[in-house]
Structure 1
Amino acid sequence: MSRPITLETVYKAHHPWLSSWLQKRLGCHAQAADIAQDAFIKLLVKPQHFSQLDDAKAFITTIAKGLCIDHWRRKKIEQAWLESMQQAADTVTLDEAEQRVIIDTLIVLDEWLAKLPQEVSHAFIASQVQGFTYAEIAQQLNLSERTIKRYIAQALVHCAKLAI
């Protein structure tokens, strides 16, 4: 009977490879190191049992891919925020801490809305961020105003449940 593969064994066997693989994808050693560590922390928090080291490599790679997607999504949101701040530089001044809170809030909101059907999140954003009326959104999406009202309610209930 073979010994179970420990997290330490998985870490020693795959951390250097994972760090190198991530650096090639991200183009930044520091970000690659952070994401590699985050991947192993996820494995530490929610332990898995592997019968082979290759199984562990596949699993940790899947975790790292998800973390990369999260990283790129955050970067996209941060970039959009910075661009909007540059356009509003004459009218809005926020210190770094305030900007960080806003960006973190936008990232959480993006994660919440990503869990909704695309038309529901689109209707919610059009209503709450862009200021469109339900009738305007209904016309954009070629749906009834009643459906848009239902979508907005669905999005609000979803966000309220997640905020608790």
Structure 2
Amino acid sequence: MADTLMLSGDTTLSIHALYCNHHRWLQSWLNRRLGNAFDAADLAQDTFVRILVSGRTPEAEQSRAHLTKIAKGLVIDLHRRRVLEAAYLQALAHLPSAVSLSEEERALVLEDLLRVDAALHALTPKAREAFLLSQLDGLTYSEIAQRMGVSFGSVRKYMLRAAQALQSIDWT
């Protein structure tokens, strides 16, 4: 059964007022930062969807600050997603043609990469660094501890947090 969003009449009115009063401004603000009207329109809509889903609207005097904060996060997510996608496509370009993937397979792998990226991004910087040093550079926990200037036990904790974050990914 699909989840439904239940909002009170007051919440619906305040979201409507927020949208009417600030949508055009937010889209212009995003367009200036992104230089792309299509991305700006998408992220403006996504900003209001986030507010709608949360069910919490800011006070009138905090509206633009609140919208800006959400939109900045979405801009960062968009940039990270595009950097990851570009790196993935570049890696695919170096594969022999016998190993090439269909468009559907590429899209599925990219979705999985984005899920892993989001899980790693949610970690503390030290936990993320320890995990990447282990998985990408092949360093042992002792080598990671020495490079990062932390104890062996800290590295174990960082790796446990990374494993938990990756295990909690919803792969459906």
Instruction: State how far apart, in whole Å, the 2-side matches of 1:84 and 1:64 are.
Output: 30
Specify every segment of 5 or more residues in structure 2 that has no aligned partner in the other structure, as ranges. Answer: 1-9
Relative to structure 1, the CA distance from residue 89 to residue 138 in structure 2 (aligned partners, 3 Å threshold; closer, same or farther) is farther
The answer to whether the aligner puts 1:106 opposite 2:124 as a matched pair is no
1:61 equivalent in structure 2? 68
Q: CA RMSD in A?
A: 2.7
Answer whether contact 2:141 2:156 (CA < 8 A) is retained.
yes
| Aligned counterpart, 1:36 | 44
Query: In structure 1, how many angstroms separate the alpha carbons of the residues matched to 2:158 and 2:58?
Result: 43
1:89/1:12 Cα in 2 relative to 1: closer, same or farther (>3 Å)? farther
Match of 1:11 among 1, 4, 19: 19
**Percent of aligned positions that are identical:** 35
Q: Are residues 139 and 88 of structure 1, via their aligned partners in 2, closer, same or farther at CA, if it must alter by over 3 Å?
A: farther
8 A Cα contact 1:113 1:155, kept in partner? yes
Deviations 1:7-62 (A, max 9, x none): 2121111111111111111111111111000111111112234442x422221121
* Count, aligned residues: 161
Question: Cα distance 1:49–1:123, how it changes in 2: closer, same or farther (>3 A)?
Answer: closer
Specify every segment of 5 or more residues in structure 1 that has no aligned partner in the other structure, as ranges. none
DSSP 3-state at the match of 2:62? helix
TM-score (norm 2): 0.77
1:85·1:92 contact (CA, 8 Å) conserved in 2? no
- SS across alignment from 1:6: helix
Point out the more displaced range, 108-117 or 88-97: 88-97
Q: Structure 2 matches for 1:71-150, cutoff 5 A?
A: 71-90=78-97, 92-143=99-150, 147-150=154-157
Bigger drift between 122-131 and 16-25 goes to 122-131
TM-score (ref. length: structure 1): 0.81
